[in-house]
Amino acid sequence: METWIRRFLLTAAALAPGLAALPATAAETTIGESLRSEPVIQPEIARREIKTPDIDEEDFEIGLYAGLLSIEDFGTSPVYGARAAYHITEGLFMEVSLGTSEAGETSYETLSGDVLLLPADDRNFTYYNLSVGYNLLPGEVFISDKYAFNSQFYIIGGIGSTSFAGNDEFTISAGVGYRLLMTDWVALHLDARDHMFNSDLLGTDKLTHNVELTAGLTVFF
Lowest mean pLDDT among 132-141, 148-157, 211-220: 132-141
| pLDDT at residue 8 tops 70 | no
DSSP 90-113: SSEEEEEEEEEEE----HHHHHHS
Task: Encode pLDDT of 165-201 as tens digits.
Answer: 889 999 999 999 999 998 889 999 999 999 999 998 8
Burial of 101 (0-12, 13-18, 19+ CB in 10 A): buried
| pLDDT at residue 14 tops 90 | no
φ and ψ at 188, to 5 degrees?
-100, 135
Fill in the amino acid letter for 45: I
| pLDDT at residue 38 tops 70 | no
For 60-220, CATH gives 2.40.160.20
What region does 166 belong to: left with phi over 0, alpha with psi -120 to 50, or beta? Answer: left
Q: In the chain, which residue ranges form alpha helices assigned H by DSSP? A: 2-37, 107-112
Neighbouring C-beta atoms of residue 164, cutoff 10 Å: 25
pLDDT at 24: 47
For residue 154, the cross-strand partners are: 135, 177
67 Cβ contact partners less than 8 Å away, ≥ 6 residues apart: 78, 79, 191, 212, 213, 214, 215
